[in-house]
C-alpha cells in the first residue's frame, strides 16, 4: 500500500506546484500567499510519504485530498484535479491493502510449504 500511496502523493507534489503557477496569475491572490500555501501543500505531500506506515498516515492523506478539492475555490481546475487525485488515493489505499493481504497469504503459504517439506539437509 505504501508504494501506491507514495506514488500518488508524489504526483500531487507536482500538481500542487503547477497549480501555484496558475494561481500566480490571479489578481486576487498575492504571490507570497500562493507560494506559502503551495509550499506547505508540497511539503506535506512529501512528508506524508514517510508517515504512511504509521497510524493516522492514511487519514492525513485524506485530509490532503480534501484540501486539494477545496483549493478549487481559488484555482477552478483544482476541483477536477482534486477529485481525480482523490480517486487515485482511494484506489491506492483500497488496492494497496488487497496487495498487502495477498503478499501476507503467499508468505504464510511459503512458510507452511517449507515447514511441511521437512528439515533441510
Q: Which of 103, 71, 84 is nearest to 3 (CA)?
A: 103
DSSP 33-78: HHHHHHHHHHHHHHHHHHHTTSTTHHHHHHHHHHHHHHGGGTSTHH
Q: Is a pLDDT exceeding 80 seen at residue 118? A: no
CA-CA distance, 79 to 98, in Å (whole number)? 29
- Per the CB < 8 A criterion, the answer to whether 71 and 50 are in contact is no
- Per the CB < 8 A criterion, the answer to whether 42 and 9 are in contact is no
Q: Which of 72, 95, 80, 86 is nearest to 9 (CA)?
A: 86
Q: What is the pLDDT of residues 28-86, one digit of tens each?
A: 889 999 999 999 999 999 999 999 989 999 999 999 999 999 999 988 999 999 999 99
The reported pTM is: 0.83
Amino acid at each position: 500500500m505504501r508504494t501506491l500511496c507514495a506514488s500518488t502523493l508524489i504526483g500531487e507534489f507536482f500538481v500542487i506546484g503547477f497549480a501555484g503557477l496558475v494561481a500566480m496569475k490571479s489578481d486576487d491572490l498575492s504571490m507570497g500567499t500562493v507560494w506559502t500555501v503551495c509550499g506547505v501543500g508540497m511539503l506535506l505531500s512529501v512528508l506524508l510519504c514517510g508517515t504512511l506506515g504509521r497510524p493516522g498516515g492514511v487519514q492525513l492523506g485524506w485530509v490532503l485530498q480534501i484540501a486539494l478539492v477545496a483549493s478549487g475555490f481559488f484555482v477552478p481546475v483544482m476541483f477536477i484535479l482534486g477529485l481525480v487525485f482523490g480517486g487515485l488515493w482511494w484506489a491506492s489505499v483500497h488496492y494497496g491493502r488487497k496487495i498487502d493481504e495477498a503478499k501476507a497469504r503467499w508468505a504464510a503459504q511459503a512458510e507452511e510449504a517449507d515447514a511441511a517439506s521437512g528439515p533441510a539437509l
